[in-house]
């Protein structure tokens, strides 16, 4: 049975890229860094400390949905990092690839700030974290998310996620 498309989601600083990259490597599938699909205008807005609107995110989410649909259509596994902060965003992604599973990385605001402060060269300023936290609609139980607390080590998050997916790797 092919792997479902997997989206590693959460607010900035939660470790989506690291967990996503490690998960894809463990599963032997493609990893797509969702941030690379943002148009330059979105990156410029965020770098300037301006929160994105739903309209700003629409094209970006559609590009991610397209990548998920293409992988699912070919029976190829894929792991994508994408904030997927609101239910309608996740619904759009699931509409393109209905079997998509979401791995929601959660953590305290203080830990997220610490992680963001330690990053080098990332366009997302700490000043936008509160906007993301306010926008976040955690996945409901009906979405069957795999929720992981980022206070765990990356290895523990990876092992627990693979176990929750029911994959032996």
84 in a structural domain:
yes
49 in a structural domain:
yes
Residue 3: predicted pLDDT? 87
26 in a structural domain:
yes
In the chain, the number of structural domains is: 1
Question: Residue 33's beta-bridge partner residues?
Answer: 81
Q: Which residues contact 97 (CB under 8 A, 6 or more apart)?
A: 4, 5, 65, 68, 69, 71, 72
Residue 164: predicted pLDDT? 94
Entry pTM: 0.90
Nearest CA-CA partner of 35 in 101, 81, 68: 81
Residue 131: predicted pLDDT? 84
pLDDT truncated to tens, each residue of the chain (169 aa)? Answer: 578 999 999 988 788 999 999 999 999 999 999 989 999 998 888 888 888 889 999 999 999 999 999 999 999 999 999 999 999 999 999 999 999 999 999 998 888 878 777 656 555 566 677 888 888 899 999 999 999 999 999 999 999 999 999 876 5
Residue 118 CA: distances (Å) to CA of 39, 59, 108, 154: 25, 30, 16, 16
Alpha carbon distance 56, 2 (integer Å): 33
Q: Which residues contact 73 (CB under 8 A, 6 or more apart)?
A: none
Alpha carbon distance 134, 131 (integer Å): 5
Q: Where are the alpha helices (DSSP H) in the chain?
A: 16-27, 40-47, 54-74, 87-96, 109-118, 129-135, 154-165
Range of the domain at 114: 6-165
1 in a structural domain:
no
Alpha carbon distance 36, 155 (integer Å): 25
State the CATH number of the domain containing residue 160: 3.40.50.300
Residue 46: predicted pLDDT? 80
């Amino acid at each position: 049975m092919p792997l479902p498309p997997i989206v590693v989601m959460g607010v900035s600083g939660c470790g989506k890229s690291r967990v996503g990259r490690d998960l894809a490597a463990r599963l032997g599938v493609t990893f797509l860094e969702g941030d690379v699909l943002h148009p330059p205008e979105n990156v410029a807005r965020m770098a300037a400390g301006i929160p994105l609107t739903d309209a700003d995110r629409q094209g970006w989410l559609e590009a991610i949905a397209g990548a998920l649909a293409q992988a699912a259509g070919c029976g190829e596994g894929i792991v994508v990092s994408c904030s997927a902060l609101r239910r309608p965003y996740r619904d759009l992604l699931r509409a393109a690839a209905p079997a998509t599973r979401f791995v929601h990385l959660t953590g305290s605001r203080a830990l997220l700030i610490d992680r963001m402060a330690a990053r080098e060269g990332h366009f997302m300023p700490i000043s936008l974290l509160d906007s993301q936290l306010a926008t976040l609609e955690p996945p409901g139980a009906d979405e069957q998310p795999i929720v992981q607390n980022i206070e765990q080590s990356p290895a523990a998050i990876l092992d627990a996620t693979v176990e929750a997916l029911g994959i032996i790797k």
